[in-house]
Structure 1
Amino acid sequence: MAKKLVIKVTAGADAPERCSQAFTVAAVAVASGVEVSLWLTGESSWFALPGRAAEFELPHAAPLPELLASILAGGSITLCTQCAKRREITEKDVLEGVRIAGAQVFVSEAVQDDVQALVY
């Protein structure tokens, strides 16, 4: 089993099932004791901002704010640098615990031994 799971989520409200699946897998992995690094890119970038997860709705899915909180409590969440810039999001805007980093950091995390990477 992988010791670390790196998940890149590109979907937001534009593809709610895919988005919810990524956050659910990340939260379940954290609860299972797996080291998790969740990357927010594309439309999921908005969930790095306070209150945005509460606006997300998907019937029969776990509430996104709860999933986000559990991931932050036991894993890490990173907002893509380019995605943040395109949306004029800065480090002072994001939730506490969310970092902004670029592709070099993603690649260095994803290519380590004992790492499984998933893209949603």
Structure 2
Amino acid sequence: MAKKLVIKVTAGADAPERCSQAFTVAAVAVASGVEVSLWLTGESSWFALPGRAAEFELPHAAPLPDLLESVLAAGSVTLCTQCAARRGIEQRDTVEGVRIAGAQVFVSEIMADGVQSLVY
């Protein structure tokens, strides 16, 4: 089993099923004891802002705020630096526990021994 799972989610409300799958896999992995790093990029960047996950709806899916909360509690959530800048999001704007970091940090995470990565 991988020591760490890095998940990069690019989809948001524009592709709700892909978005929900990424958050669900992250939350299930955390609940299974896997170290998880969830990266918010593209349209999923908006979920780094307070209240935005609560606006997301997908029938028969777990509530996004609950999934995000579980990952934040036991894993890490990172907002892409460039994605944040393009949307005018600054660190002070984000949900507590979300960090902003760039490609160098992403590459170092996915290149570490024992890491598996997924992109949604």
Which of the five TM-score ranges fits, normalised by the shorter chain? Answer: over 0.9
- Name the structure 2 match of 1:81: 81
Q: How far off its partner does 1:20 sit?
A: 0.1
Q: Deviations over 1:13-40 (max 9, x none)?
A: 0000000000000000000000000000
- Name the structure 1 match of 2:110: 110
2:94 maps to amino acid: V
Identify unmatched segments of 5+ residues in structure 1: none
Matches within 5 A, 1:63-78: 63-78=63-78
- Name the structure 2 match of 1:33: 33
Separation in 2, partners of 1:76, 1:22: 14
Task: Give the TM-score normalised by structure 2.
Answer: 1.00
Separation in 1, partners of 2:117, 2:107: 10
Q: How far off its partner does 1:84 sit?
A: 0.1
Across the two proteins, how many residue pairs are aligned to each other?
120
Q: How far off its partner does 1:53 sit?
A: 0.2
- Name the structure 2 match of 1:14: 14
Identify unmatched segments of 5+ residues in structure 2: none
Separation in 2, partners of 1:55, 1:110: 30
Separation in 2, partners of 1:114, 1:64: 28
Supply the RMSD in Å over aligned alpha carbons.
Answer: 0.2
Once superposed, which parts of structure 1, at least 4 consecutive aligned residues long, lie more than 2 Å away? Answer: none
Q: Deviations over 1:85-115 (max 9, x none)?
A: 0000000000000000000000000011100
